[in-house]
Structure 1
């Protein structure tokens, strides 16, 4: 869902939205981790390092080796009030159960201090692995390092860790940069030959949203470079915090500051729905069009009703299952890619009309 540079293509694994192709090979003899010239360490090397740290533990060195250690995965979600993260948690729980893991889910409520405490609690409980949606892509580093030092592998999904204090084995997420570009293309198509002023409802604390806005902005800038008559001006970028209330407040400020606003790009469905409520309250729902991001049920319903034009949609169910797959691969001793990206696709009203999930029971 939800700073950092553009994700590197090297080592990146792509998952199609109709199926998963997990490409992995068994490594040979494990080696001592060595930093690269850029100062980074590969995820496979990190995995080996973490595995070696836990070797010789009196409780058992590997959850997959048949010892007595309870198989537990601790998952600190950004929030569970957003259905997107609830789907990730539910899929992780179901998939983990198939492999003998209990997944303990807690909500950080978008508070990095709370999340840090949750990681510390997972360490005390000696979980087998930790999964995070970082509340702050940099500030969570100290907590990740504590887990590293305790020999517990850390994985992230949706939101990427962008610091240097700790090491993450694998990050599983939507290709947010690609999704942001899709949103930009949809905006260019929406405004057509008229162009106009656009507001962006951002959530700059998290890396995934930075990538969405980056992709969106690049497409708009490229459009403007090739068109004098139909320029799209990003008039303001406000922090919608990925939430309805903040999205409402940000959209309200935007339309008050720019009465001629033509459209709005929100980095997720909750902030888009909050913006829609603000537009309706101001009597501008027909003037200002909204492009969101996510494809949660409420967002899809709003698209069906014409309240949101479209979303680049995500696949949180795949994200949850793939996270467990990567954890299993890690404990099986297989090579684990540093990053697995799931492509997004645009979802319009025509798609909603054919969506069986929206058909009344």
Structure 2
């Protein structure tokens, strides 16, 4: 009888221990994000944008790992400020625990993000650092360093001393402004040939690149700070039989830029790690919800990819993250 009682007591103790372990594990998981809702708002959810699809993939991986609920929103066009404002309003109204956003650099967006903070929603900003009254946690590429990498590549690969011209998107773009600063820092004092703004127009980039190539002496390298600039400049170089003679350097990655790199129309791409950005954006939001102390800024590495290096296993994974 005494043995039977001991056995029953031992069994009850084991059950209690197991229940405690399950409770403790679930409590720990809640601290890691279980049940919490995170809304990620990208600049675009267009499936043709390899970069933003990479960010989305990283965010999804982080949410799955932490047991958080994830919703991903975004306009079809990267420059659609009105759509981003509407989606931010929608996200705020849904009352999530955190919003992770890659904002368009617009004063109205900044004001709305301030309202999100005031509503008690944890805010993390990706890609485009903003100046706000309460600086949020930021996860982005070090755009100035990326510009410096591009400038150094131009300095070492251009044919002799030559001028470097920049084709940028918009004068008010914070990302492009930082890239431009880095480019200038890397160039010789007289190596900068000016910046031309082309918006998101490939045709305008093409026309402006033709003007740059007609200069006497012509520029030795063109920095394309967005995809339309790179596509337009590549077309102008090809038509003038200057591909390879004038270096063309682009930022970020897309299937179109990869094709240009592969056929020699593009000399180098300065590539971020979008998966890491999405992953750390969500993870840092969950850590802040756990009241953890974090650095205000987290930088994602950028690397220079050329035709010779694009086939390395690491760069293949970076350029084709979903293959």
TM-score, normalised on structure 1? 0.70
Select the structure of larger CA radius of gyration. Answer: 2
Could you tell me how far 1:200 is from its partner in structure 2? 0.2
Gaps of 5+ in 2: 1-28
Are residues 170 and 349 of structure 1, via their aligned partners in 2, closer, same or farther at CA, if it must alter by over 3 Å? same
The Cα offsets for residues 270-289 of structure 1, whole Å up to 9 and x where unpaired, read as 53133212332444435432
- Mapped pair 1:78 → 2:46: no
Q: Shift of the alpha carbon at 1:71?
A: 3.4
User: Where is the helix percentage greater, Structure 1 or Structure 2?
Assistant: 2
Q: Does 123-132 or 350-359 show the bigger shift?
A: 350-359
Structure 1 match to 2:232: 274
* Cα shift at 1:303: 2.2
Cα distance in 1 for residues equivalent to 2:76 and 2:108: 14
TM-score normalized by the length of structure 2: 0.77
148 and 237 in structure 1: CA distance in 2 versus 1, 3 angstrom threshold: same
Q: What is the correspondence of 1:8-157 to structure 2 with a 5 Å cutoff? A: 64=30, 71-79=36-44, 80=46, 81-98=48-65, 99-107=67-75, 109=77, 110-136=79-105, 138-157=107-126
Structure 1 position 297, deviation (Å):
4.5
| Other structure's SS at 1:104 match | strand
Show the counterpart of 2:14: none
Question: Are the equivalent residues in 2 in contact too, given 1:156–1:170 (CA < 8 A)?
Answer: yes
Match of 2:220 among 262, 265, 268: 262
Query: 2:292 aligned with 1:334, yes or no?
Result: yes
Q: Secondary structure at the match of 1:102?
A: strand
Q: Deviations over 1:26-82 (max 9, x none)?
A: xxxxxxxxxxxxxxxxxxxxxxxxxxxxxxxxxxxxx94799x96332222222353
Work out whether 1:313 is the aligned partner of 2:271: yes
Within 5 Å, give how 1:279-358 maps onto structure 2.
Answer: 279-355=237-313, 356-357=316-317
Match of 1:200 in 2: 166
Q: Structure 1 residues 82 and 66, CA, compared in 2 at 3 Å: closer, same or farther?
A: closer
Q: Answer with 70-79 or 140-149: which moved more.
A: 70-79
Q: CA deviation at 1:262?
A: 2.3
State the Cα RMSD in Å: 3.0
CA distance in 2, matches of 1:103, 1:320: 13
In structure 2, distance between residues paired with 1:287 and 1:140: 42
